[in-house]
C-alpha cells in the first residue's frame, strides 16, 4: 500500500489557493495544470514552499490542438516530491512570462534551450542566444511540423549524386 | 564610474581565449574566456559540438530502438542512461519487472557509475598535468569494461542491454566471482589514493569554491551539490529499482571546492562497491525479463500518459520526461542531463575571477560530459 498522505496534503494546499487542476500520480509525483495567467504566482508560491530545484523545463508540441504545452518539473529537497506544472499556450504566438526571476540562472538556461528548439518567447529573460545550433535560420527544429528528413533532402542532398539519389526513389 | 572607464581604456592585456573545442583537455565543448593578463573576467559556455537531436530522433523510433539509442546519450555511462530510458517506458506501460532483472539493473548501473568515476579521476588528472593518475585510471577501468563485455556483449555501448521489461540477457555463469574480483582491484586502486599527492592537493584545494546557496540557485545536482554540503541523492530520496533495500551512505562535504568534489567521487566508488556486494548476496533466481518482452515485438503500443523519471547517474540527476499519445512511438521525450547546468551556469559562475591555470582543475572537478549536455 502506498501512503499518499504527504502528496495529497501538498496538492490540497495548492488547490485551496489557486484555481488549478491537479492530481497525485503516485508516490512523490504530483501534476498540476495551471493557466498562463497564474503561472507566475503559483511558481512563486511553490518556491517559497521549498521547491528550490527546477529540474527541467520542457515543451510538447500538440499540433492538432494548435497549442504548445510547457512543463516545469520541480523538486523539493525537504518534502522529497516532484511537482510538475503544465501550462498551455497558443502555438501561433507562444509568449509566456519567464520564471528566471524565481529560479534564477537554472531557469534562464532551460528557457534559452526551449526558445531555440520550440521558438517560445520568455518575457523577462534577457539572454536568448542560441545554444546548440549555429547559423540556423529555419523554423524551430523540435516542433512537430518540422521534418528533418525532408529538410536535409532539400538543403543538402542532390538527385544527381549517385549515392544520394536513393533517397528520392 | 569614471574610474572604471579609465581602467578599461588603459588595459591593453584584455583578450579572448578559447578553451576548447579542440583542446585536449576540454572534450567536445568550448568556453570563451575574456581574459585580462592571467585573470578571467568572464566566461561564456559555447556548447553544440555534439548536438545530435536525440529528443527528436526518439520521436521517430520504437522503444526497442530507443533503448539502443539511449546508450549514446553519454559515452562514459551508457548503462545508466539505458536504465533511465527503460524505466520511463516501464512506468508508462505499467510493466511488472521481475525481481532478478531489478537486481541485475542495479549491479550494472553501479558498475557503470564506478567506471565513470574512474574516468572522471583520469580526466581530472590529465587536465591538471598528472599523467600517472590518468594511465592508472584507464588501466583499472578496463577491468570493468571486461565485465561489460562478458555480460552485455559490448565494452562501452551495451546496445540496449537494459531494455523495457528487464534486461536482455541473464548474468553468465561465474559472474559473481568475476565481479567480486574486479571490485577487489578497484578497491586497491582507490586505496592507492592518488589524491594525496601534494601537487594535486595544491592544485585543487580552495579552487572553484561553490557555496550551497549558489549551487542550488545555479541548478547543481549530484556530486557537485553534495560537495557543497547538501545531503541528497536520488537513490535515497526518490528511490527507483531496488535501491531502498540496500544500506549505503551518501557522502557529503562542506568545502565546495574542487578537492571536495573529487573526494566525493572517491567515497561514492566505495559506496557503489558496497551496493554491488549486497546485491550479489541477495540476488534472487527467476526471470530476467518480463514475459511480454521476452521476444522483441514491433507492434507494442505505449499507453497514453506521461511520466518524469529521475535517476542518480554518476554526474548528477538524470531526468527523462516521456509523453505518449497511445501510439508505438513516444510523442515527446525530454532528456535532462546533469551536465546541462553544470557546464553552462555553474561553470560560467565558477570561472569568473579565477586564473587561467585553474581552468582545467575547475572544469574537470565538475565531472562533466558534453554528450549529455548537447544530446
pLDDT in tens, A79-134: 888 999 999 888 888 889 988 888 888 898 999 899 988 889 888 888 888 888 88
pLDDT at B145: 92
Contacts of B90 in chain A (CB under 8 A): none
Mark out the alpha helices in chain A (DSSP H runs): 5-17, 39-49, 100-118, 148-156
Nearest to B129 by CA among B369, B357, B366: B357
Residue B41 DSSP SS3: strand
**Chain B closest-CA separation from residue A72 CA (Å):** 11
pLDDT at B323: 92
Residues from chain A that touch B323, judged by Cβ atoms under 8 A, are: 60
- Cα–Cα distance list, B322 to A15, A71, B81, B336 (Å): 25, 11, 14, 11
What does pTM read for this prediction?
0.86
Cβ atoms within 10 A of the Cβ of B92, count? 21
Question: Has residue B369 got a pLDDT over 80?
Answer: yes
Contact flag A132-B48 (C-beta cutoff 8 Å)? yes
Q: Which of B236, B237, B316, B350 is best to mutate for the A interface (most A CBs within 10 A)?
A: B237
d(Cα A166, Cα A157) in Å, to the nearest integer? 10
Q: Reply yes or no: is the peptide bond before residue B66 cis, omega within 30 of 0.
A: no
For residue B97, pLDDT over 60 is answered with yes
Could you read off the pLDDT of A131-152 as tens digits, one per residue?
888 888 878 888 888 888 888 8
Pick the residue from chain B with its C-alpha nearest to A133. B48
How many residue contacts between A and B have a Cβ separation below 8 Å?
83
Contact B229, B254 (CB under 8 A): yes
> Taking CA atoms, what residue in B is nearest to A118?
B56
- The answer regarding whether domain B53-374 maps to CATH 1.10.645.10 reads yes
Q: Measure the CA–CA gap between B226 and B215, rounded to whole angstroms.
A: 9
pLDDT at A2: 62
pLDDT of residue B112: 92
Phi first, then psi: give them for residue B63, nearest 5 degrees: -55, -35
Better-scored residue on pLDDT, B61 or B24: B61
Mean pLDDT over A35-42 rounds to 87
- Chain B neighbors of A105, CB-CB under 8 A: 217-219, 345, 349
DSSP per-residue letters across B71-91: HTT-GGGHHHHHHHHHHHHHH
| pLDDT above 60 (res B10) | no
Name the nearest CA neighbour of A75 among B212, B83, B94, B233: B233
Contact B288, B161 (CB under 8 A): no
Cell (9 digits) for A105: 540562472
How is residue B37 written as a grid cell? 593578463
> B237: part of which helix (H) or strand (E)?
helix B234-237
* Alpha carbons B21 and B28: distance in angstroms, whole number: 5
DSSP B26: T
pLDDT at residue number B23: 67
| Band (A168; pLDDT cuts 50, 70, 90) | confident
Residue B12's pLDDT band (boundaries 50, 70, 90)? low
**Confidence grade of residue B2 (pLDDT, cut at 50, 70, 90):** very low
Q: Which CATH number fits domain A5-133: 3.40.50.300, 3.30.460.80, 3.40.1440.10, 3.30.420.40?
A: 3.30.460.80
**Cα dihedral sign, A21-A25-A30-A34:** negative
Cβ within 8 Å, pair B53-A141: yes
Distance CA B180, CA B10 (A): 64
Top pLDDT among B329 and B296 is at B329
Instruction: Indicate whether B194 pLDDT > 80.
Output: no
Contacts of B126 (CB under 8 A, 6+ apart): B24, B25, B133, B134
Nearest chain B Cα distance for residue A89, angstroms: 17
The confidence score (pLDDT) of residue B321 equals 92
Q: What is the pLDDT of residue B106?
A: 92
Mean pLDDT, rounded, for B232-250: 87
Look at residue B17 and tell me whether its pLDDT is greater than 50.
yes
> Using alpha carbons only, how large is chain A's radius of gyration in Å?
20
Q: Rounded to an integer, what distance in angstroms lies between the CA atom of residue B134 and that of residue B24?
A: 13
Q: How far apart are CA B147 and CA B182, in angstroms?
A: 8
Q: What is the mean pLDDT of residues B331-357?
A: 89
Closest alpha carbon to B321 in B329, B53, B373, B330: B330
Domain ranges of chain A: 5-133, 137-169
Q: How far is B53 from chain A (nearest CA, A)?
A: 8
Confidence of residue B299 (pLDDT cuts 50, 70, 90): confident
Cβ contacts of A113 on chain B, cutoff 8 Å: 340
Question: Distance between CA B57 and CA A124 in Å, rounded?
Answer: 31
Integer angstrom CA distances of residue B179 from A94, B145, B155: 53, 11, 15
Q: Test A56 with B321 for CB contact under 8 angstroms.
A: yes
Could you tell me if B342 and B21 are in contact, meaning their C-beta atoms sit under 8 angstroms apart? no
Contact between B372 and A133 (Cβ < 8 Å): no
Instruction: List the one residue out of B120, B167, B127 whose CA is nearest residue B283.
Output: B167
pLDDT (0 to 100) of residue A71: 92
pLDDT exceeds cutoff 60 at B289: yes
pLDDT beyond 80 at B365: yes
**Comparison of pLDDT for A9 and B151, the residue scoring more:** B151
Q: Residue A129: which residues within 8 A CB-CB, separation 6 or more?
A: A112
- What value does the mean pLDDT of chain B take? 85
Measured between CA atoms, the residue of chain B closest to residue A129 is B46
Q: Any idea where the domains of chain B sit in the sequence? A: 53-374
Residues A45-82 have pLDDT tens digits of: 888 888 888 989 999 988 888 888 999 999 988 888 89
Place of cell 564506478: B114
Of B368, B319, B362, B318, which is closest to residue B342 (Cα–Cα)?
Answer: B368
Phi, psi (rounded to 5 degrees) for B340: -55, -50
Give me chain A's average pLDDT, please: 86
pLDDT at position B7 over 70: no
Please give the residue that has the higher pLDDT: either B169 or B22: B169
Amino acid at each position: 500500500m502506498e501512503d499518499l498522505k504527504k502528496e495529497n496534503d501538498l496538492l490540497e494546499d495548492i488547490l485551496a489557493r489557486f484555481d488549478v487542476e491537479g492530481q497525485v500520480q503516485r508516490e512523490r509525483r504530483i501534476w498540476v495544470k495551471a493557466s498562463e495567467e497564474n503561472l507566475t504566482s503559483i511558481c512563486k508560491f511553490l518556491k517559497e514552499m521549498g521547491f528550490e530545484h527546477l529540474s527541467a523545463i520542457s515543451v510538447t508540441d500538440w499540433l492538432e490542438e494548435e497549442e504548445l504545452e510547457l512543463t516545469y518539473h520541480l523538486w523539493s529537497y525537504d518534502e522529497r516530491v516532484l511537482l510538475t506544472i503544465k501550462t498551455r499556450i497558443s502555438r501561433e504566438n507562444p509568449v509566456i512570462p519567464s520564471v528566471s526571476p524565481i529560479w534564477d540562472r537554472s531557469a534562464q538556461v532551460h528557457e534559452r534551450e526551449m526558445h531555440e528548439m520550440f521558438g517560445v518567447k520568455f518575457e523577462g529573460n534577457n539572454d536568448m542566444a542560441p545554444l546548440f545550433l549555429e547559423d540556423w535560420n529555419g523554423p524551430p527544429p523540435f516542433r512537430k511540423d518540422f521534418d528533418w528528413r525532408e529538410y536535409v533532402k532539400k538543403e543538402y542532398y542532390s538527385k544527381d549524386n549517385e549515392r544520394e539519389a536513393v533517397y528520392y526513389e | 564610474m569614471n574610474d572604471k572607464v579609465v581602467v578599461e581604456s588603459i588595459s591593453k592585456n584584455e583578450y579572448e581565449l578559447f578553451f576548447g573545442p579542440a583542446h585536449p583537455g576540454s572534450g567536445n565543448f568550448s568556453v570563451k574566456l575574456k581574459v585580462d593578463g592571467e585573470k578571467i573576467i568572464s566566461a561564456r559556455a559555447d556548447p553544440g559540438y555534439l548536438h545530435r537531436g536525440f529528443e527528436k530522433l526518439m520521436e521517430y523510433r520504437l522503444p526497442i530502438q530507443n533503448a539502443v539509442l539511449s546508450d549514446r546519450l553519454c559515452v562514459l555511462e551508457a548503462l545508466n542512461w539505458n536504465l533511465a530510458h527503460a524505466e520511463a517506458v516501464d512506468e508508462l506501460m505499467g510493466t511488472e519487472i521481475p525481481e532478478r532483472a531489478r537486481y541485475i539493473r542495479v549491479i550494472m548501473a553501479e558498475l557503470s557509475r564506478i567506471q565513470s568515476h574512474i574516468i572522471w579521476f583520469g580526466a581530472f588528472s590529465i587536465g591538471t598535468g598528472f599523467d600517472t593518475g590518468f594511465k592508472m585510471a584507464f588501466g583499472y577501468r578496463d577491468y570493468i569494461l571486461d565485465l561489460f563485455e562478458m555480460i552485455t556483449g559490448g565494452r562501452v555501448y551495451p546496445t540496449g542491454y537494459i531494455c523495457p521489461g528487464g534486461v536482455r540477457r541473464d548474468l553468465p555463469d561465474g559472474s559473481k566471482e568475476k565481479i567480486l574480483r574486479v571490485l577487489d582491484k578497484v578497491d586497491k586502486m582507490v586505496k592507492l589514493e592518488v589524491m594525496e599527492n601534494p601537487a594535486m592537493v595544491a592544485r585543487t584545494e580552495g579552487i572553484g569554491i561553490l557555496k550551497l546557496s549558489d549551487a542550488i540557485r545555479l541548478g547543481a545536482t549530484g556530486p557537485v551539490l553534495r560537495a557543497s554540503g547538501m545531503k541528497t541523492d536520488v537513490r535515497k530520496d526518490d528511490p527507483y529499482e531496488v535501491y531502498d533495500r540496500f544500506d549505503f551512505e551518501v557522502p557529503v562535504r562542506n568545502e565546495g571546492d574542487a578537492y571536495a568534489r573529487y573526494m566525493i567521487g572517491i567515497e561514492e566508488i566505495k559506496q557503489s562497491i558496497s551496493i554491488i556486494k549486497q546485491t550479489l548476496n541477495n540476488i534472487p533466481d527467476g526471470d530476467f525479463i518480463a514475459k511480454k518482452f521476452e521476444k522483441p515485438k514491433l507492434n507494442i503500443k505505449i499507453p497514453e500518459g506521461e511520466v518524469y523519471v529521475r535517476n542518480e547517474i554518476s554526474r548528477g540527476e538524470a531526468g527523462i520526461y516521456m509523453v505518449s499519445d497511445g501510439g508505438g512511438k513516444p510523442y515527446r521525450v525530454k532528456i535532462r542531463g546533469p551536465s546541462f547546468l553544470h557546464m553552462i551556469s555553474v561553470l560560467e559562475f565558477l570561472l569568473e575571477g579565477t586564473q587561467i591555470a585553474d581552468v582545467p582543475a575547475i572544469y574537470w572537478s565538475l565531472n562533466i560530459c558534453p554528450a549529455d549536455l548537447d544530446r
